Structure 1
Amino acid sequence: MAMCKVWKVFGTLFVTVLGCVRCLPVDGEPLCTAGGSAKYSLIFTGKWSRSAFPKQYPLYRPPAQWSPLMAVTHSSDYHMWRVGEYASNGVREFAEKSEAWTLMREVEASGEKIQSVYGVFSAPAIPNGVEQTSTEFEVHARLSLLSFMVRIVPSPDWFVGGDSFDLCEGDHWKEQMSVDLYPYDAGTDSGFTFTSPNFATIPQETITEITSTSPNHPVNSFFYPRLTQLPPIARVTLTKVKDSQLIRISTAQSNLIPMGNEIDNSVSETPLDCEVSTWSSWGLCMGKCTDTGIKRRTRYIRLNPANSGNPCPELEEEEQCVLDNCV
């Protein structure tokens, strides 16, 4: 079977057509009877703003940004990543370092072995947290699922993505799909903050969703215990462009685009409460022997409030005490 590869890693595009388009669905897999193939546009919108995620928001070296988007069209036999399962070596390298070579080889191997992958494509990286990137791709009726990943940069091993979005619904292709995206932890690095140094998780843990209270640790960059749910950190919008005949060799155009009115670009303002240290030890009892003594203790601000969060409490406290060595 012929195979097409157009790889330009983290440049404008890379497209690989791999799968067997005449393969029958496995038992129990919903049958897509739309026929032929369809072409879609994909717009990825970053919503990682300082107002939505004020805690430890990275401003320098590097500032908040997004890696290139890596995506695969496939059948239900294949999964790029799944919550509750262990990340592959390719997913680990992409989630930790934005390196895609190993993941691309894993996708290619799956396409050759079980013929469950139709194509792999990408969209350019985004140099800040709130811009958009786009691409176009083709999907086939027998391999109508889409999975993708985008790394959160900087981060230990955090990413956003989609697992097996089905673009076919019975006998027709979906016209549009828009999904809010939330952060995931690949389970391969134990850092708590965006800029944590590399610290491998041994043994490796499974992929989990990061929430406002999980990991339940105040140092965690996504720890917002006042929220029942984090605001979406990104959104993906898939729009059907046109029906087309099956094209075995194709290219996809990828562009950075300005924030357009056709996409919901609203961002949340997440209240961030002040965080202070624990109290220091009490100082010495000070005063004149004719008076009651006073002792003091202090604490310092660990995190300033933002977006109408709770203000900082008093940083100094004093208490009466009995003076020593007074006759």
Structure 2
Amino acid sequence: MERDMNVSSTSSVVHWLASLTLTLLGSVHPMPVTIDPVCTADTTAKYSLTFTGMWSQTSFPKQYPIYRPPAQWSLSLVRVTHSSDYHIWQRNEFASNGVREFSEKGEAWTLMKEVEAAGERIQSVYGLFSAPALVGGTGQMTSEFEVFARHSFLSFIVRIVPSPDWFLGVDSFDLCEGDQWKESVTLELYPYDAGTDSGFTFSSPNFETIPQDKVTQITSSSPSHPANSFYYPRLKNLPPMGMVTLTKTKNNQIFSIPMEPTQFNQTGNEIGNEIEDSLINSTPLDCEVSAWSPWGLCKGKCGDSGVRHRTRYIHLQPANNGVVCPSLEEENKCIPDNCL
């Protein structure tokens, strides 16, 4: 009898636990599972990449580098095709030593070694390429590349010269969509700060950031400091500093040698002028003046009211219909000093 009661009691507990489990499972909503899209397109595709520099004195008039050195881009545009588990750089993450050296000095050796090492370690990197140099803030350079379905992501980086550690780039853009390769894509490019140097202006001396910051996008209001070369408080957004166009070529098209760069701000040819007029925005730059100096001595005859003066000077001349400079001298009535 006692054994039968124990069996009955155990059975009741089991049924109760089973009922409780079903109730709890019914109240739990399944967590969404995010799976990286898998490219099922044809094995390979061929693309033409055209980088267009849009860094002109019209679009970015503040502290625009004219000499030693003039505005230009790095000696190479480092481009990588890879899978989704690799990043050459990432916004809001720390830059690698390779990205640091490239963004500060334009030296690509360490960065290329990092990419090669990643390819050997996780087999996520298919190709590493560099495009020809672009001397001048505006102009175009074109190169061609092949991309595989299992390495359908494109990343690249190009250094802003001169600058502390600023660059343009694209992080992990997928050229594949389902079972199709994208035919043509145009991406606007905006400046990024690598977080390794604390300079505010294009020509700032080397001033290492300790501790290192993360990679951040530079905007018209961030860093929020009047000395910053990209500080345009009247603008909601900066104009694009560059643009990249990716065009899928025909499978049977023979690859040509990469085109030589063109500078449409220097050659003055008709094609260059059309590109410049259609792409480059005119950014108004307001005049910036210093604070007033102290009042000077009060000058005048004894018994009469005198006059004193103070002055200020221009930090930045206005450009592109920006606010004109105010008066640089002011006078005020006073009682003459040291009057006998």
Q: Could you say whether these structures have the same fold, taking a TM-score greater than 0.5 normalized by the shorter chain as the test?
A: yes
Whether 1:88 and 2:96 are equivalent positions in the alignment is: yes
Give secondary structure in 1 for the equivalent of 2:250.
strand
Report what 2:44 is aligned to: 37
Alignment of 1:88-237 (within 5 A): 88-237=96-245
Match of 1:253 among 250, 257, 273: 257
How many Å apart are 1:61 and its aligned residue?
A: 1.0
Report what 1:10 is aligned to: none
Whether 1:269 and 2:275 are equivalent positions in the alignment is: no
How many Å apart are 1:60 and its aligned residue?
A: 0.6
Which letter maps to 1:191? Answer: G
Supply the distance in 1 between the matched residues of 2:163 and 2:128 (Cα, whole angstroms): 24
Are the counterparts in 1 of residues 304 and 335 from structure 2 also a CA contact under 8 Å? no
- Is the deviation greater in 290-299 or in 264-273? 264-273
How many Å apart are 1:243 and its aligned residue?
A: 3.4
Supply the distance in 2 between the matched residues of 1:238 and 1:155 (Cα, whole angstroms): 27
> TM-score w.r.t. structure 2 length?
0.84
* Between structures 1 and 2, the one with greater strand share: 1
What CA deviation, in whole Å up to 9, does each residue of 1:58-81 have, x standing for no partner?
111111111121010001110010
Deviating above 4 A after TM superposition, structure 1's stretches of 4 or more consecutive aligned residues are 259-265
What CA deviation, in whole Å up to 9, does each residue of 1:119-169 have, x standing for no partner?
110111111111100100111101100000000011110000000010000
Supply the distance in 2 between the matched residues of 1:234 and 1:256 (Cα, whole angstroms): 18
> TM-score w.r.t. structure 1 length?
0.87
Give secondary structure in 1 for the equivalent of 2:249.
strand
Taking only aligned residues, the RMSD between alpha carbons, in angstroms, comes to 1.8
Which letter maps to 1:138? Answer: E
Among all aligned residue pairs of Structure 1 and Structure 2, give the percentage whose two residues are the same amino acid.
Answer: 66
Are the counterparts in 2 of residues 86 and 205 from structure 1 also a CA contact under 8 Å? yes
Are the counterparts in 2 of residues 123 and 255 from structure 1 also a CA contact under 8 Å? no
- Unpaired runs of 5+ residues, structure 2, are 1-33, 265-270
Give secondary structure in 2 for the equivalent of 1:203.
coil
* Between structures 1 and 2, the one with greater helix share: 2
Give secondary structure in 1 for the equivalent of 2:117.
helix
Higher RCO (CA < 8 A, seq sep 6+):
1
Whether 1:322 and 2:340 are equivalent positions in the alignment is: no
Supply the distance in 2 between the matched residues of 1:251 and 1:206 (Cα, whole angstroms): 38
Decide whether aligned partners of structure 1 residues 186 and 167 sit closer, same or farther in structure 2, where only a CA change above 3 A counts: same
Supply the distance in 1 between the matched residues of 2:275 and 2:177 (Cα, whole angstroms): 23
Are the counterparts in 2 of residues 185 and 207 from structure 1 also a CA contact under 8 Å? yes
